[in-house]
């Protein structure tokens, strides 16, 4: 079991917030609100970056405030303030109710929230042994500087960019049904890029993912950073020597450090119910995976098993409760290749006949109203599946892809193009020369139906991002994606850089 040490030194007082929440509930009931939730948040973010071992930028921000959301005449109303006072709460409730009354004349779909048991939990916290905000800034800078100097001492490494972003999020929630929760989450993301500026300007990124851990992560608890530092100069040399790929169709062996990206874009966003219902089209469009296809759509090969999850100990989207008071849970999105579920909040769940939300309401901070956001969406490894070497040995003519690259996908989540940070040819079951300019194109269903082998647990890594964007006005949300390595047969590959071929 992971160490679930609590994070201390926060900025919110749950006892005082209970009193403010009670004020909001009483005032809302008096004004005719049929439902009310009160959410107070303190989100603290710190980022520092170094260039060639020297401090380049450092900054910290704190976003503290509260929000009140009501239902009146079957219509949402929302308001908030940065002052945690009785007077500010009273104003916000009146403003939220007034907004709902004004909008109700144009509302053609009354809000109906599915039921959720009442919860009382003031103790939930993400796993963290060393709160990164208690670590002296000099120590944080010193660690990145040591990493940078280690790499700069290696032949062929001309420049190093290093950074670390850390976030501590505290959230108090209470609603008119009686639920009261308080939770703290910590997340951290170290980034490192080694670059060569010789005949060809190339760079290679460290693959350590962002995670819901404390500073102990950067001290080696959960990732082997020493191994990353040893590997990067060699990977950089390979990238300098890479030859342009010859366009065609290839079997792709996609490493877990890259596979999380198509998983995020073509399954994670595609199974968001608000997109399918037409409620959300801003920023990233709609989806083809509509709820009428649940249970019948063959999304991928029988090897494709994908879960939506809010409970993975180190997942960036893991919570105790969502922003509608729904307890975190895990559920199937795709089973044996068939679409089996979607992501819901308490409003959208009822619209497709579900009796309970699976807990996907989230707001970036108290400055925003909650919307349906992605949980950790992960591809299940084969329990007794092959390791990476065995997957390579099974490919006669293919390409191995690893690390984050660029992507593009259409507004319905069907047609996409991805690049990776690194690529190597696979020839007769062996890794061969490094390749340059590799991009692959596919239709979502074509791609996942072409998955013909899935790696075992030893190839599985929980990757992700701190900044998944959605909505208008735009909101960011952290999310993780676990994935093993996997093989996809006959995928179209393009050459995006220099002319030439194998």
Q: Is residue 502 part of a domain?
A: no
> What pLDDT digit, counting tens, does each position of 242-268 carry?
999 999 999 999 999 999 999 999 999
Q: Is residue 439 part of a domain?
A: yes
Mean pLDDT value across residues 351-364: 97
Structure confidence at residue 130 (pLDDT): 97
> What pLDDT digit, counting tens, does each position of 106-159 carry?
999 999 999 999 999 999 999 999 999 999 999 999 999 999 999 999 999 999
Q: Is residue 280 part of a domain?
A: yes
Q: By residue range, what is the domain housing residue 322?
A: 248-495
Place of tokens 């060639």: 52
Q: For residue 20, what are its two tokens?
A: 């403010």
Distance CA 493, CA 270 (A): 23
Higher per-residue confidence, 5 vs 275: 275
Residue 300 shares a structural domain with residue 151: no
Structure confidence at residue 10 (pLDDT): 57
Q: Is the dihedral of CA 359, 363, 369, 375 positive or negative?
A: negative
Q: How many residues does the chain have?
A: 502
Residue 204 shares a structural domain with residue 261: no
Structure confidence at residue 6 (pLDDT): 37
Q: Return the DSSP state at 326.
A: P
Residue 179 shares a structural domain with residue 39: yes
User: 3-class SS at 81?
Assistant: strand
Structure confidence at residue 140 (pLDDT): 97
Residue 289 shares a structural domain with residue 389: yes
| Cβ within 8 Å of residue 221, ≥6 positions away | 129, 213
Distance CA 443, CA 449 (A): 10
| CATH code assigned at 42 | 3.30.2290.10
Q: pLDDT band at residue 2, thresholds of 50, 70 and 90?
A: very low
| Cβ within 8 Å of residue 431, ≥6 positions away | 392, 400, 424, 425
CA distances from 101 to 72, 271, 347, 459 (A): 6, 32, 19, 54
Closest CA to 372 of 341, 344, 413, 335: 344
Residue 387 shares a structural domain with residue 479: yes
Q: Is residue 1 part of a domain?
A: no
Which of 188, 211, 240 corresponds to the end of one domain? 240
pLDDT reading at 5 higher than 60: no
> What pLDDT digit, counting tens, does each position of 455-472 carry?
999 999 999 999 999 998
Contact 490, 248 (CB under 8 A): no
Residue 206 shares a structural domain with residue 342: no
Is 54 exposed, middle or buried, given 0-12, 13-18 or 19+ CB atoms closer than 10 A?
exposed
Q: Report how many domains make up the chain.
A: 2
pLDDT reading at 47 higher than 60: yes
pLDDT reading at 497 higher than 80: no
Residue 219 shares a structural domain with residue 328: no
Please enumerate, as own/partner, the contacts of 420-423 that have beta carbons within 8 Å and a separation of 24 or more: 420/258, 421/204, 421/205, 421/257, 421/258, 422/204, 422/235, 422/238, 422/239, 423/242, 423/245, 423/399
Q: pLDDT band at residue 3, thresholds of 50, 70 and 90?
A: very low
> What pLDDT digit, counting tens, does each position of 196-227 carry?
997 778 999 999 999 999 999 999 999 999 99
Residue 199 shares a structural domain with residue 313: no
Residue 326 shares a structural domain with residue 270: yes
Distance CA 57, CA 281 (A): 35
> What pLDDT digit, counting tens, does each position of 282-304 carry?
777 899 999 999 999 999 999 99
Q: Is residue 186 part of a domain?
A: yes
Which of 240, 273, 291 corresponds to the end of one domain? 240
Distance CA 315, CA 123 (A): 18
Residue 359 shares a structural domain with residue 476: yes
The helix, strand and coil proportions of the chain, stated in percent and rounded to the nearest 5, come to 25, 40, 40
Distance CA 255, CA 381 (A): 12
Q: Is residue 207 part of a domain?
A: yes
User: 3-class SS at 485?
Assistant: coil
pLDDT reading at 502 higher than 90: no
Q: For residue 451, what are its two tokens?
A: 């998955």
pLDDT reading at 280 higher than 90: no
Residue 338 shares a structural domain with residue 256: yes
Q: Is residue 9 part of a domain?
A: no
> What pLDDT digit, counting tens, does each position of 396-442 carry?
999 999 999 999 999 999 999 999 999 999 999 999 999 999 999 99
Q: Is residue 6 part of a domain?
A: no
> What pLDDT digit, counting tens, does each position of 368-394 carry?
999 999 999 999 999 999 999 999 999
The pairing of strands 243-244 and 475-483 is unpaired
Number of other CB atoms surrounding residue 139 within 10 Å: 10
Query: What percent of the chain shows pLDDT beyond 90?
Result: 94
Residue 236 shares a structural domain with residue 252: no
CA distances from 21 to 25, 368, 377 (A): 6, 18, 33
Query: What percent of the chain shows pLDDT beyond 70?
Result: 97
Which of 196, 211, 240 corresponds to the end of one domain? 240
């Amino acid at each position: 079991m992971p160490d679930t040490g609590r994070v201390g030194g926060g900025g919110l007082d749950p006892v005082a917030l209970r009193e403010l929440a009670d004020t909001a509930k009483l005032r809302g009931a008096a004004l005719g609100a049929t439902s009310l939730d009160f959410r107070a948040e303190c989100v603290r973010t710190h980022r520092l970056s170094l260039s060639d071992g020297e401090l380049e930028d450092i900054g910290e921000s704190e976003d503290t405030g509260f929000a009140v959301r009501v239902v009146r005449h079957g219509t949402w109303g929302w308001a908030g303030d940065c002052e945690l006072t009785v007077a500010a709460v009273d104003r916000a409730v009146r403003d939220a109710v007034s907004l709902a009354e004004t909008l109700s004349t144009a509302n053609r779909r009354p809000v109906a929230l599915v039921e959720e048991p009442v919860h009382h939990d003031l103790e939930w916290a993400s796993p963290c042994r060393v709160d990164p905000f208690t670590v002296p800034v000099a120590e944080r800078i010193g660690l990145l500087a040591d990493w940078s100097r280690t790499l700069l001492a290696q032949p062929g490494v001309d420049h190093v960019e290093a950074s670390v972003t850390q976030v501590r999020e505290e959230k108090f929630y209470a609603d008119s049904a009686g639920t009261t929760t308080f939770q703290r989450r910590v997340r951290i993301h170290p980034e490192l890029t080694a670059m060569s500026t010789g005949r060809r300007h190339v760079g290679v990124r460290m693959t350590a993912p962002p995670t819901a851990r404390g500073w102990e992560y950067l001290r080696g608890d959960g990732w082997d950073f020493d191994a990353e530092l040893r590997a990067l100069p060699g990977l950089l040399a390979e990238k300098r020597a890479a030859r342009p790929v010859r366009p065609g169709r290839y079997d792709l062996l996609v490493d877990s450090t890259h596979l999380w990206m198509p998983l995020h874009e073509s399954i994670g966003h595609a199974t968001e119910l608000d997109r399918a219902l037409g409620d959300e089209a801003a920023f990233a469009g709609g989806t083809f995976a509509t709820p009428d296809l649940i249970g019948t759509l063959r999304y991928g090969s029988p090897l494709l098993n994908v879960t939506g999850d809010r409970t993975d100990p180190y997942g960036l989207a893991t919570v105790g409760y969502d922003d509608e008071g729904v307890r975190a849970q895990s559920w199937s999105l795709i089973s044996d290749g068939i679409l089996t579920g979607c992501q819901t909040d308490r409003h959208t769940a009822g619209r497709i006949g579900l009796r309970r939300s699976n807990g996907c309401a989230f707001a970036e901070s108290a400055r925003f109203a909650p919307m349906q956001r992605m949980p950790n969406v992960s591809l299940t490894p084969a329990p007794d599946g092959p390791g990476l070497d065995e997957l390579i040995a099974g490919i006669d003519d293919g390409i191995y892809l690893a690390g984050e690259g660029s992507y593009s996908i259409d507004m319905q989540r069907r047609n996409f193009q991805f690049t990776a940070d690194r690529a190597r040819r696979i020839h007769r079951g062996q890794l061969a020369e490094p390749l340059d300019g590799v991009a692959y194109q596919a239709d979502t269903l074509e791609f996942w139906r072409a998955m013909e082998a899935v790696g075992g647990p030893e190839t599985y890594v929980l990757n992700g991002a701190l900044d998944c964007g959605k909505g208008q006005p735009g909101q960011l949300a952290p999310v993780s994606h676990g994935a093993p390595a996997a093989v996809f047969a006959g995928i179209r590959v393009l050459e995006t850089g220099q002319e030439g071929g194998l």
